[in-house]
Homo-oligomer: A and B are copies of this chain.
């Protein structure tokens, strides 16, 4: 699928400069883009990247002075980019709704219109599946779980009992939602299981990666709010609440009863200790470990996580340790010399004091 620059500009209602006949085969970020692709720069901060991009076409701010050609000019380059992206997001060969003959459907199951159930799908008693929802082969929907409309569940996903999944949700393969939280009470050296009686609520417009695990609550609900995106191999423990439009990157682990605000980013391989709140708009850098509640709209890094700038300074000091030690050695050398000097002086003084005494005698 290819669209000319001229056609894209027309769809965006935006002016272009350069050869409008150049064909675009897709879109990507300025660093990822390859020949034939379109990318964008929304502000001057990224203009320096232009000379390195392999993209063939650029969406740029209306008044930017940029030598690259062809360009499309827009008041809101990022939004224009997203609209272009949607031009290429043309319907994947649509799955034709059907209930595969091998799918096992329990009692009192409610199926919406135009539902696709693939081979070997199991829908347990009392579950409900909304209109236009697609459930690929080998996936399992537990008793009384509710799946919304226009939702896609890839192959080999497990949704355990009484879980609620919203509309326009995408869940990738191997993911498990609603497994028991990890709760035990120890007595006499034995671990007694704390019953995990709660559930999981996944709101609308959420995407969940592959091989993710989301535990059900001990009581109440583990709760992912609308618009949040979760990458592969993420662990979300019992009773966690994640706000709207958050970004949880691959291999993040979130302990029990953590509350993550709206639009928070937890970067890759970071972890959050239990019973902590992370304020809205905050970013946790990759591989950080958050051990205390942190306020909104800041950036933290390190373990234990601290304000990113402060942590960076501290880590720079760590790198300077060898030089610091040399400075200390230098000081010690000099101080030893002073000691020698002072002791000479004082001996001399004693001597002269003695002499004075003698003289006085």
Residues on A lying within 8 angstroms of B by beta carbon are 25-29, 31-32, 34, 37, 76, 78-79, 81-82, 85, 88-89, 93, 100, 102, 104, 118-120, 122, 136-138, 140, 143, 154-156, 158, 160, 170, 172-176, 179-180, 182-195, 197, 207, 209-211, 213, 215, 218-220, 227, 229, 231-233, 235, 237, 239, 245, 247, 249-251, 253, 255-257, 263, 268-269, 271, 273, 275, 286-287, 289, 303, 313-314, 317-322, 324-325, 327-328, 331-332, 334-335, 337-339, 341-342, 345
Contacts and interface: CB of A to CB of B under 8 A. Distances in A.
Given A232-B182, A232-B235, A251-B235, A335 B331 contact: yes
Contact of A160 (B173, B184, B235): B173
Contacts of A187: 76, 78-79, 82
B321 A314 contact: yes
Given A180-B172, A209-B179, A255 B268 contact: yes
A179 B197 contact: no
Contacts of A183: 29
A82 B219 contact: no
The 9 nearest A-B residue pairs measured at CB: A158-B173, A317-B321, A213-B232, A176-B210, A140-B155, A173-B176, A179-B210, A210-B213, A182-B231
Residue picked from A32, A227, A322, most chain B C-beta under 10 Å = A32
A176 B271 CA distance: 23
22 contacts: A25-B219, A27-B194, A85-B185, A85-B194, A100-B104, A119-B120, A120-B122, A122-B155, A158-B174, A176-B211, A179-B210, A180-B207, A182-B209, A191-B245, A235-B250, A271-B286, A271-B287, A313-B322, A318-B318, A335-B335, A335-B338, A338-B342
B154 A156 contact: no
B26 A197 contact: yes
Residue picked from A78, A186, A197, A235, most chain B C-beta under 10 Å = A235
Nearest to A37: B219
A275 B31 contact: yes
Contacts of A192: 82, 85
Contacts of A118: 122
A191 B228 CA distance: 8
A321 B318 contact: yes
Contacts of A245: 189-191
Given A156-B156, A176-B210, A191-B245, 4 more contacts: A26-B195, A29-B183, A34-B220, A211-B233
Contact of A182 (B122, B143, B249, B331): B249
Residue picked from A189, A245, A268, A313, most chain B C-beta under 10 Å = A268
Contacts of A190: 227, 245
Nearest to A317: B321
Nearest to A119: B104
Nearest to A156: B158
Nearest to A333: B335
A197 B88 contact: yes
A341 B339 CA distance: 11
A221 to B, nearest CB: 11
Contacts of A27: 194-195
B325 A328 contact: no
A190 B202 CA distance: 17
